[in-house]
Amino acid sequence: MKTAIGIDLGGTYIKYGLVDQQGKILKKGMIPTKAESNSRDIVIEQISTAIKDVWNDTIDGIGIGTPGVVDNNGVVYEAPNLPDWHNFNLKEIFEKKFNKPVVVENDANSIAYGEFLFGAGKGTRTIVCLTLGTGLGGGVVINGKLLRGAIYSAAEIGHMPIDYKGRKCGCGSIGCIEAYVGRDYIVKSVIRKIKRGKKTILTEMAENDLSKITPKMISEAYQKGDKLAEETWIEMATALGAFLAGIVNLLNPDRIILAGGIAQAGEILFETVRKTIHERAMKVLSKNVEIVPAELGIDAGIISGAALIFQS
């Protein structure tokens, strides 16, 4: 039986596990990343500790999902939440240390491949996987292969503009889809409407401190029939659906998979996204595509890390 170690490197925790060829976790753990140490070496030491904890000599390799841009050689660039995580070969470090094949991939790309191989994309050829959270990450698998682009990782989906005169995005550009569906932007738009006088139970739920409002709270308010919460999700999902109509026309995917905390807003999100895609994408393409929730759950990063090894 083939096995691999999957590493999910986050800004706060490293989640890791030993995973078999069916995507089943045999053993797993979690340790702090120690990013606050401001030392790249300490973070690398933490990853080594994680690997050793689930190590056995028969593994087929180690797959690491990391924030940042990763090139075809395993060099990482531009990960703002990790110390000095820029311009160095992460793959080489661990291949030398453990003498096994190592694959390093951008975390959102890694999740897309994991969902393709073991989760909601199983049995398809072409998928787009979006992770809805603070930002909007994503990955694309075309004909069974991760779309990687010319040199660096392609699929910086969150920073595709949907409105060239639109909202300012954190990346410095204007009108990126992230500025319409990212967590902070959703909350900000709700706060703006409350300040303009919209009545909502969110004010009470947040104990009159609007800074306490979260997407989860907006979902709860929606369940209780709150109009502003409903309007917020419909607006967000319509923006996402319009954006995805473009993606459907561009890539003709079998499935679009929605992952991440905000995807848990539930049926109103999925229904509105589906409806908008069907209204706006080319008919024959939109008829074919399915919009589904991710399946790998909280251990997605671990399973996906291992999937990177099974792809090769």
For residue 137, give the nearest of 14, 258, 296 by alpha carbon.
Answer: 258
Q: Rounded to whole angstroms, how far apart are CA atoms 288 and 144?
A: 18
Q: Is 250 in the site for Zn ion (CB under 5 A)?
A: no
Within positions 262 to 301, which residues make up the interface with Zn ion, using CB under 5 A? none
Minimum distance from CB of 160 to Zn ion (Å)? 8
- Going by their DSSP bridges, the two strands 88-89 and 25-32 should be labelled as unpaired
Q: What are phi and psi of 174, to 5 degrees?
A: -125, 135
Instruction: Out of 34, 86, 125, 159, name the contact with Zn ion by CB under 5 A.
Output: 159
Residue range at the interface with Zn ion (CB under 5 A); choices 40-48, 127-135, 163-171, 270-278: 163-171
- Cα dihedral sign, 220-226-228-234: positive
Residue range at the interface with Zn ion (CB under 5 A); choices 139-147, 162-170, 243-251, 303-311: 162-170
Minimum distance from CB of 94 to Zn ion (Å)? 31
Amino acid at 270: F
Give the residue with the Cβ less far from Zn ion, 136 or 187.
136
Q: Is 168 in the site for Zn ion (CB under 5 A)?
A: no
# chain residues binding Zn ion, by CB under 5 A: 5
Give the residue with the Cβ less far from Zn ion, 171 or 250.
171
Q: Is 167 in the site for Zn ion (CB under 5 A)?
A: no
Q: Is 78 in the site for Zn ion (CB under 5 A)?
A: no
Q: 10 Å Cβ neighbour count for 12?
A: 11
Q: Is 20 left (phi over 0), alpha (psi -120 to 50) or beta?
A: beta
Q: 10 Å Cβ neighbour count for 289?
A: 24
Instruction: Out of 37, 124, 173, 214, name the contact with Zn ion by CB under 5 A.
Output: 173
Instruction: Out of 171, 223, 227, 288, name the contact with Zn ion by CB under 5 A.
Output: 171
For residue 99, give the nearest of 44, 58, 147 by alpha carbon.
Answer: 58
Q: Is 239 in the site for Zn ion (CB under 5 A)?
A: no
CA quadruple 26, 32, 37, 41: dihedral, nearest 10: -10
Residue range at the interface with Zn ion (CB under 5 A); choices 81-89, 107-115, 154-162, 302-310: 154-162
Question: By the criterion CB under 5 A, which residues form the site for Zn ion?
Answer: 159, 169, 171, 173, 176
